[in-house]
Amino acid sequence: MEVQEYLKKAAQTVDVALDSLIPKQSTKPASIHKAMRYSLFAGGKRLRPALALAAAEACGGALEAALHAACAVECIHTYSLIHDDLPCMDDDDLRRGRPTCHIVFGEGLAVLAGDSLLTLAFEILAQAQPTSRYGIADFVRELSVASGSRWLIAGQVLDLESEGKPVSKSALKFIHQAKTAALLTCALRLGAMSANVTPSKLKALTDFGQALGLAFQVIDDILDVTQSTEKLGKTAGKDVKAFKATYPALFGLKKSRALAAELTEEALSALKPLGKKAVMMRGIAESLLVREY
Amino acid sequence: MEVQEYLKKAAQTVDVALDSLIPKQSTKPASIHKAMRYSLFAGGKRLRPALALAAAEACGGALEAALHAACAVECIHTYSLIHDDLPCMDDDDLRRGRPTCHIVFGEGLAVLAGDSLLTLAFEILAQAQPTSRYGIADFVRELSVASGSRWLIAGQVLDLESEGKPVSKSALKFIHQAKTAALLTCALRLGAMSANVTPSKLKALTDFGQALGLAFQVIDDILDVTQSTEKLGKTAGKDVKAFKATYPALFGLKKSRALAAELTEEALSALKPLGKKAVMMRGIAESLLVREY
């Protein structure tokens, strides 16, 4: 199967699962469930859940075993976008090509929709099947640590605090690791754990995720300055405007592109212990390097 | 032991446990951990965790078995207060006698501190000890449902949406059940589950919690109009000012007081199946009826 076809099918599978796991739009109070669904079904690429499913398969498991984990990670990702877009944070009114949650539903409901998706992520994760090596406590610890105040949220905190200030290269790297690589790695790990992965393969996937996550964010920084708002589905050139620390700002475009390629190579090389079964993950990593949005 | 002494000791035990479970103030990024600790250690009464501990003891378990559950519930309670106080929600600048989180740390960091405490609640809960009847999945499901978009968050949504509008008695009851009784009941249930409670006793505690939670919120509504800001540690008379639906507004003060007493009786009667071991919970319910803040 081609990478793009795999990603498309994974996204469809995840969308069907999410639709069954999220309260219906008519569930009272309707407004909050409408807001949650608005942001969750806004045509996201479903990269993180696709990585969870691909990791499960690369570890010899069935894609289905990782579905709850995949959906939980996507709920976390979507909540973080809703909150990051708030006026008191990055103040953005466009996301995935549509007005952001607070523009449509108001700030109060947007905060609560984010809170609800964050909470729901754990409700969904608790429905996963434990394996002989990993229990629900392991799954929950994995997701809560990656999305908590030392990783995902830390990234947003440092991002906010670094606006308009000079940022060292190592500080920028940590922001990107926390903001992007941690949850992406978590998706891979949860998918692999759902397939009862061995510790050594789990380590390989972790290394893969950390390099891939950094590459992904470097490319994101590049696209912010090279692509149009229309193509990105979110406001282009925003990082520059907000005087945000980015790779192009610190290294220039050419060096940033070389770095993204280097990190992708590093990611691919980390996959070796998984052998041929990792073919789809290799394909995904390569496709992310040349993505245009 | 006297009720007040028990509550005081429970609060101390919970404070020590929370202090060891929350990242240190110096953990990077320091700002977020400072904000989390500011709101968490603001002198809250620790009623919910105390109920979790008392429920565990009433079910023949050790207080220690319920400590993780108790701390997780308090993290959820504190996050909900931080987010409810935001300018886009209830817009309050005083809580537990101190400036609210967003007044001290700014709105962006307050949103993220709430998010962090919500996420941490599940990290802490995952460290609880499963029992023969209840696994970590049961604990996580319990907390996520009670604090999710159908209960705790639903209460805040309806509260926001009902401001300045006429609200029926049944709608007001549901808001109070969702906003207050659900998490309070959850604390009791998690405490009892930590002590491997039987299904019939769990049902009794659930009935107790629902009646007690409603009584607690009716009393809260009464105190909002009868007590000073100084005594309450939060802005008094606020519900009236915001044209909020409250029991005194709908029923008058006298009838509200009678209703609170009636609900407390109902709660006490639900405790019967627990026999003498429920003595402390009975005492807590009685003390809440006559509380002044």
Tell me the pLDDT tens digit for each residue of A51-94.
999 999 999 999 999 999 999 999 999 999 999 999 999 999 99
Q: Are B242 and B163 in contact (CB under 8 A)?
A: yes
Least confident of A129-138, A230-239, B45-54, B195-204: A230-239
Alpha-carbon torsion angle B41, B184, B177, B113, nearest 10: 30
Partner-chain contact A140 B153, CB within 8 Å:
no
Token digits for B239? Answer: 């519900």
Partner-chain contact B161 A31, CB within 8 Å:
yes
Mean residue pLDDT across chain A: 94
Number of domains in chain B: 1
Q: Whole-angstrom Cα distance, residue A222 to residue A232?
A: 12
Q: Where are the beta strands (DSSP E) in chain A?
A: 94-95, 98-99
User: Does residue A34 surpass a pLDDT of 90?
Assistant: yes
Q: How many residues does chain B have?
A: 293
| pLDDT at residue A231, as a whole number | 76
Name every chain B residue with its beta carbon within 8 A of the beta carbon of A38: none
| pLDDT at residue A291, as a whole number | 85
Chain centroid offset of residue B153 CA: 13
CATH number at residue B226: 1.10.600.10
Q: Whole-angstrom Cα distance, residue A52 to residue B33?
A: 30
Name every chain B residue with its beta carbon within 8 A of the beta carbon of A73: none
| Burial (Cβ within 10 Å: 0-12, 13-18, ≥19) of residue A1 | exposed
Partner-chain contact B106 A83, CB within 8 Å:
no
Chain B nearest C-alpha distance from A196 (Å): 18
DSSP A177: I
**Of residues B111, B119, B136, nearest to A135 (C-beta):** B136
pTM above 0.90, yes or no: yes
Q: Taking Cα atoms as reference points, which of B203, B204, B190, B239 lies closest to residue B219?
A: B239
Partner-chain contact B149 A33, CB within 8 Å:
yes
| pLDDT at residue A184, as a whole number | 98
pLDDT in tens, A184-225: 999 999 999 999 999 999 999 999 999 999 999 999 999 988
Chain centroid offset of residue B106 CA: 25
Name every chain A residue with its beta carbon within 8 A of the beta carbon of B32: 149, 153-154, 157
**Of residues A106, A122, A145, nearest to B144 (C-beta):** A122
Partner-chain contact B148 A83, CB within 8 Å:
no
Residue in the block written with tokens 């050419």: A254
Q: Are A41 and A101 in contact (CB under 8 A)?
A: no
Alpha helices (runs of H) in chain A, residue ranges in sequence order: 3-21, 30-40, 47-58, 67-84, 101-105, 107-125, 136-146, 152-162, 169-176, 182-194, 199-226, 229-232, 238-241, 247-251, 253-270, 279-289
Average pLDDT over residues A162-173: 89
| pLDDT at residue B269, as a whole number | 97
DSSP B120: H
Q: Are B105 and B38 in contact (CB under 8 A)?
A: yes
Residue percentage of chain B with pLDDT more than 90:
85
User: Does residue A36 surpass a pLDDT of 90?
Assistant: yes
Chain B nearest C-alpha distance from A24 (Å): 11
Q: Whole-angstrom Cα distance, residue A71 to residue A68?
A: 5
Predicted confidence pLDDT, tens digits, chain B (293 residues)? 799 999 999 999 999 999 999 999 999 999 999 999 999 999 889 999 999 999 999 999 999 999 999 999 999 999 999 999 999 999 999 988 899 999 999 999 999 999 999 999 999 999 999 999 999 999 999 999 999 999 999 999 999 998 888 889 999 999 999 999 999 999 999 999 999 999 999 999 999 999 999 999 999 999 988 888 787 777 777 777 777 788 998 999 999 999 999 999 999 999 999 999 999 999 999 999 988 87
| pLDDT at residue A100, as a whole number | 96
Partner-chain contact A144 B126, CB within 8 Å:
yes
Name every chain B residue with its beta carbon within 8 A of the beta carbon of A158: 29
A-interface mutation test, from B86, B89, B105, B122, most A Cβ less than 10 A away? B122
Non-local (6+) Cβ contacts of B73 within 8 A are B48, B49, B52, B121, B143, B183, B186, B187, B190
Q: Are A57 and A280 in contact (CB under 8 A)?
A: yes
Average pLDDT over residues A257-263: 96
Q: Are B161 and B170 in contact (CB under 8 A)?
A: no
Q: Are A265 and A224 in contact (CB under 8 A)?
A: no
Token digits for A55? Answer: 């990791």
CA-based radius of gyration for chain B? 18
Chain B nearest C-alpha distance from A75 (Å): 13
Give residue A242's pLDDT band: very low, low, confident or very high (50, 70, 90): confident
Q: Are A186 and A125 in contact (CB under 8 A)?
A: no
Q: Taking Cα atoms as reference points, which of B280, B288, B291 lies closest to residue B6?
A: B280
Name every chain B residue with its beta carbon within 8 A of the beta carbon of A144: 119-120, 122-123, 126
User: Does residue A292 surpass a pLDDT of 90?
Assistant: no
Residue percentage of chain A with pLDDT more than 70:
100
A87 SS3 class: coil
A-interface mutation test, from B88, B102, B163, B193, most A Cβ less than 10 A away? B88
Residue B131 phi, psi dihedral angles, 5° rounding: -115, 180
Q: Taking Cα atoms as reference points, which of A138, A282, A265 lies closest to residue A214?
A: A265
Partner-chain contact A111 B32, CB within 8 Å:
no
Partner-chain contact A83 B144, CB within 8 Å:
no
Peptide bond into A29 cis (omega under 30): yes
Give residue A42's pLDDT band: very low, low, confident or very high (50, 70, 90): very high
**Of residues A111, A140, A156, nearest to B126 (C-beta):** A140
Partner-chain contact B112 A140, CB within 8 Å:
no
Domain extent for B89: 3-289
User: Does residue A114 surpass a pLDDT of 90?
Assistant: yes
Chain A nearest C-alpha distance from B241 (Å): 19
Name every chain A residue with its beta carbon within 8 A of the beta carbon of B140: 122-123, 125-126, 136, 140
How many CB atoms neighbour CB B99 within 10 A?
Answer: 15
Chain B nearest C-alpha distance from A185 (Å): 18
Q: Whole-angstrom Cα distance, residue A206 to residue A191?
A: 11
Alpha helices (runs of H) in chain B, residue ranges in sequence order: 3-21, 30-40, 47-58, 67-84, 101-105, 107-125, 136-146, 152-162, 169-176, 182-194, 199-226, 229-232, 238-241, 247-251, 253-270, 279-289
Peptide bond into B273 cis (omega under 30): no
| pLDDT at residue B243, as a whole number | 73
User: Does residue A241 surpass a pLDDT of 90?
Assistant: no
